[in-house]
Amino acid sequence: MRITEIGEFGLIDRVKEAIGPPGAGVVVGIGDDVAVLRARGDKYLLATCDIQVEGIHFLKEAISPYQLGRKAAAINISDIAAMGGLPTYLLVSLALPKETTVEYVDRLYEGLKKETEAAGVQIVGGNMSHSPGVMVDIFLLGEVEAEHLLLRSGARPGDKVLVTGSVGDSGAGLALLLDPTADRTGEEAKQVLKAHLTPTPRLKEGRAIARTRIATSMMDVSDGTVSDMGHICEASGVGVQLWSDALPLSPATRAVAEALGKDPLEWALHSGEDYELIFTAPADKAEKLAALVEEETTTPVTIIGEIIEEGMNLVLPSGESLPLEPGGWDHFRRR
Amino acid sequence: MRITEIGEFGLIDRVKEAIGPPGAGVVVGIGDDVAVLRARGDKYLLATCDIQVEGIHFLKEAISPYQLGRKAAAINISDIAAMGGLPTYLLVSLALPKETTVEYVDRLYEGLKKETEAAGVQIVGGNMSHSPGVMVDIFLLGEVEAEHLLLRSGARPGDKVLVTGSVGDSGAGLALLLDPTADRTGEEAKQVLKAHLTPTPRLKEGRAIARTRIATSMMDVSDGTVSDMGHICEASGVGVQLWSDALPLSPATRAVAEALGKDPLEWALHSGEDYELIFTAPADKAEKLAALVEEETTTPVTIIGEIIEEGMNLVLPSGESLPLEPGGWDHFRRR
């Protein structure tokens, strides 16, 4: 059934039913022009938005509507997690071509619901409109205690650089999607495709890191390890050296790289969308912080470099140091 | 200069400079992934979003980027106004084709700034992405004291229906834009084009109405008088009769309708985008409410109908009553 058959308000009613009744804190939820929410005045309010546009961020044939819904929510939850915050309320701005089926929208909201429920987030509103292509724009609110807020700007020379999980998996997944001849049936392929299509926001890890009050800065890896580390360096007025052999590459990413004849380090440094947390901590407390977070969340944490006065360098196992520029891996490769 | 020449981060820096330093209440503003805001816990938090998509909501050749920026902000401010609230913080999700010029973005933000400053709103973040067409998605936060919150659901049989300003002007402006042969140079044409391209959100009127604590329900006229009145009726479980000769049509709209050979009543009932406030009040207090709001804001307020038990009717000067359906003016005309 096409969405034009039930119309905008029919579709909103359907979504309202799928999402279920609003919880505590929601005075007015889905179906109105404005969500009315109980504020909690002793905390900072967090607000973020991130969009997924067909043909730019995703190919409609490469990602299911369920996966798209999950991913659209996850990348915003990741932004709140990277502040040490807790996500609370979500609004969905959905633009759809006229020929979209109601089932497509149903699956998309199933994905949104799956991801938001896992994070304790309530979907409280949004709007729907027509457009030439599918577009999912998510607005997410959150909150954080003042003492747990983690910004980009607190990194200091001598701090260690830490990262959760592994980097490069999403890049490996994207490379598989973009290579029509690639074999996507193996376990490793499935693992990196999952990392790309339904990334897991590091919400409990972000909270655990913030609660220790040891970390000095934090971001999520959305643009790429080097690019996002560059944002921390710029905001903190510092530089960084990353150790190439310390970057946590998963066995799956190494296997996919070998099968495709690619360098997995390139994905780890530059391809982005891993949604891991990258953060800094004083040198004498970095190992303790990593251990505390691993213990609480079971997610591995790796020390991958060090904050320096200025510049961005990649240190190779040989000891050779190569300049890195945000998004400049290609530039680096041409040397 | 094209946006690709300065890139996403260059463009964000430019916007950050144009918007100026963040005010009190903003801990982290433009340039970060997440806005960090001081919450005020004794009020309800309001959250809304509304989008403008090229080719769907606007034609790029018919609206300047400055006007588009103003309108994108105004329609969201209008939603907060219709709750009796005060808008506070705004995030902009902007999607732009690669060939967009930096000047286009500059003008768009000038429009956003003009409209937000007038409403006391701070622009605190957003994101930018590529897309096949221009898309401006606005996420607006606001707040309202619990006792001033006005919903759709409070209308009761016997209540009078009131509206601010005039309805149909935006429809007249749209009709002019869509008619390539129409003369757009006269004063009346300019007035209705302005109503369509840069509508004024009724913020002070919304606050004035809410503060009287007389009104029983309220909405803004975005979809059309009948359609939005239909939302009030549905949420309140009531019906309405509107009096055709009471609908406030501006002299400009009447003049444009005559020039184009159109019926201005059709625009007033169904064309939407007037962003006037439509609200209800007990019969014995409606005139007093209208007078109070007119006195405080100098904006005319007109009583245009009455809440009934069920159904939606248009009462003609002859006394004849015709059924109205939301968006059903065409249906009605075919009778």
In order of A52, A68, A193, B230, B275, the CA distances from A196 in angstroms are 13, 11, 5, 44, 42
CATH number for the domain running over B150-333? 3.90.650.10
Indicate yes or no: CB of B130 within 8 angstroms of CB of A53: yes
CB-CB contact of A303 with A286 (8 Å): yes
What length does chain A have?
335
pLDDT exceeds cutoff 70 at B329: no
A interface test, pick of B45, B46, B59, B92 with most A CB neighbours within 10 Å: B45
* DSSP of B76-139: HHHHHHTTT-EEEEEEEEEEE-TT-BHHHHHHHHHHHHHHHHHHT-EEEEEEEEE-SS-EEEEE
Indicate yes or no: CB of A41 within 8 angstroms of CB of B46: no
Q: Which residues of B touch A49 (CB under 8 A)?
A: 91, 93, 125-127, 137, 139
Higher pLDDT, B37 or B240: B240
Tokens (6 digits) for A93: 């701005």
Q: What is the identity of the amino acid at B215?
A: A
Indicate yes or no: CB of A34 within 8 angstroms of CB of B83: yes
Q: Where in chain A is the domain with CATH 3.90.650.10?
A: 150-333
CB-CB contact of A299 with A205 (8 Å): yes
CB-CB contact of A315 with A161 (8 Å): no
Tokens 């709750």 belong to B83
CB-CB contact of A282 with A159 (8 Å): yes
Residue B308 has phi, psi (to 5 degrees) of -120, 180
Task: Write out pLDDT tens, residues A126-147.
Answer: 888 889 899 999 999 999 999 9
In order of A163, A187, B229, the CA distances from B305 in angstroms are 63, 67, 11
Min distance A332 CA to chain B CA atoms (Å): 19
Q: What long-range pairs does B285-291 form, CB within 8 A, spacing at least 24? A: B285/B214, B286/B159, B286/B160, B286/B162, B288/B214, B289/B162, B289/B209, B289/B212, B289/B214, B289/B215, B290/B162
Higher pLDDT, A325 or B216: B216
Q: Residue A326: its pLDDT value, please?
A: 63
In order of A98, B78, B86, B201, the CA distances from B207 in angstroms are 38, 11, 8, 12
Min distance A77 CA to chain B CA atoms (Å): 11
Using the Cβ of A56 and the Cβ atoms of chain B, whether some distance falls under 8 Å is answered with yes
List CB contacts of A329: < 8 A, sequence separation 6 or more: A226, A266, A269, A270
Strands ordered across the beta sheet of B135-144:
A26-28, A35-38, B44-53, B135-144, B86-96, B122-130
Average pLDDT in the B166-192 region?
95
Tokens (6 digits) for A135: 């577009």
Higher pLDDT, B1 or B149: B149
Q: Quote the CA–CA distance of A247 and A268 in Å, as a whole number.
A: 7
Strand partners, A47: A141, B35
pLDDT band at residue B49 using 50, 70 and 90 as cut-offs: very high
**Which residue intervals of chain B are DSSP H helices?**
3-19, 65-81, 102-119, 169-178, 187-197, 203-212, 225-236, 251-260, 264-270, 286-297, 329-333
Q: Quote the CA–CA distance of A293 and A272 in Å, as a whole number.
A: 23
B interface test, pick of A34, A44, A141 with most B CB neighbours within 10 Å: A34
Indicate yes or no: CB of B46 within 8 angstroms of CB of A34: yes
Q: Residue B330: its pLDDT value, please?
A: 37
Least confident of A6-20, A267-281, B44-58: A6-20
Q: What long-range pairs does B13-16 form, CB within 8 A, spacing at least 24? A: B14/B102, B14/B105, B14/B106, B15/B105, B15/B109
Tokens (6 digits) for B328: 């059903």
Indicate yes or no: CB of B45 within 8 angstroms of CB of A37: yes
Q: Residue B31: its pLDDT value, please?
A: 80
Residue B26 has phi, psi (to 5 degrees) of -100, 115
How much is the mean pLDDT over chain A? Answer: 92
The b/e string for A290-320 (b: 16+ C-beta within 10 A; e otherwise) is: bebbbeebebebbbbbbbbeeebbbbeeeee
Per-window interface: B 151-210 vs A, CB < 8 A? 151-152
Closest CA to B106 of B2, B215, B260: B2
Q: Quote the CA–CA distance of B90 and B98 in Å, as a whole number.
A: 25
Q: Quote the CA–CA distance of B301 and B290 in Å, as a whole number.
A: 5
Higher pLDDT, B46 or A327: B46
Q: Quote the CA–CA distance of B73 and B67 in Å, as a whole number.
A: 10
Strand A312-315 to A239-243 pairing? parallel
Closest CA to A309 of A161, A160, A158, A162: A158
CB-CB contact of A297 with A206 (8 Å): no
Tokens 């009145």 belong to B229
Using the Cβ of B27 and the Cβ atoms of chain A, whether some distance falls under 8 Å is answered with yes
Q: Quote the CA–CA distance of B110 and B70 in Å, as a whole number.
A: 8
Q: Residue B33: its pLDDT value, please?
A: 81
Q: What is the identity of the amino acid at B138?
A: I
Tokens (6 digits) for A330: 């290609």
Longest Cα separation, chain A: 65
Using the Cβ of B127 and the Cβ atoms of chain A, whether some distance falls under 8 Å is answered with yes
Q: Quote the CA–CA distance of A141 and A77 in Å, as a whole number.
A: 9
Distance, CA of B45 to chain centre: 20
Query: What kind and span of H or E run contains A130?
Result: strand A122-130
Q: Where in chain A is the domain with CATH 3.30.1330.10?
A: 3-147
Strands ordered across the beta sheet of B301-308:
B217-220, B277-281, B160-164, B301-308, B239-243, B312-315, B321-323
Q: How far apart are the first and last CA of chain B?
A: 55
Q: Which residues of B touch A91 (CB under 8 A)?
A: 47-49, 139
CB-CB contact of A33 with B48 (8 Å): yes
Angle at which helices A203-212 and A65-81 pack, to 10 degrees? Answer: 0
pLDDT exceeds cutoff 90 at A40: no
Average pLDDT in the A58-77 region?
95
Q: Which CATH class is domain A3-147?
A: alpha beta
**Which residue intervals of chain A are DSSP H helices?**
3-19, 65-81, 102-119, 169-178, 187-197, 203-212, 225-236, 251-260, 264-270, 286-297, 329-333
pLDDT band at residue A75 using 50, 70 and 90 as cut-offs: very high
Q: Which residues of A touch B33 (CB under 8 A)?
A: 48, 79, 82-83, 219-220, 222
Task: Write out pLDDT tens, residues A197-228.
Answer: 999 999 999 999 999 999 999 999 999 999 99
Q: What is the identity of the amino acid at B62?
A: A
Q: What is the identity of the amino acid at A284?
A: D
pLDDT exceeds cutoff 70 at A334: no
Percentage of the residues of chain A whose pLDDT score is greater than 70: 97
Task: Write out pLDDT tens, residues A157-192.
Answer: 999 999 999 999 999 999 999 998 999 999 999 999
CB-CB contact of A253 with A225 (8 Å): no
Using the Cβ of A47 and the Cβ atoms of chain B, whether some distance falls under 8 Å is answered with yes
Q: Quote the CA–CA distance of A233 and A311 in Å, as a whole number.
A: 9
Indicate yes or no: CB of B27 within 8 angstroms of CB of A40: no
Indicate yes or no: CB of B151 within 8 angstroms of CB of A28: yes
Q: What is the identity of the amino acid at A192?
A: V
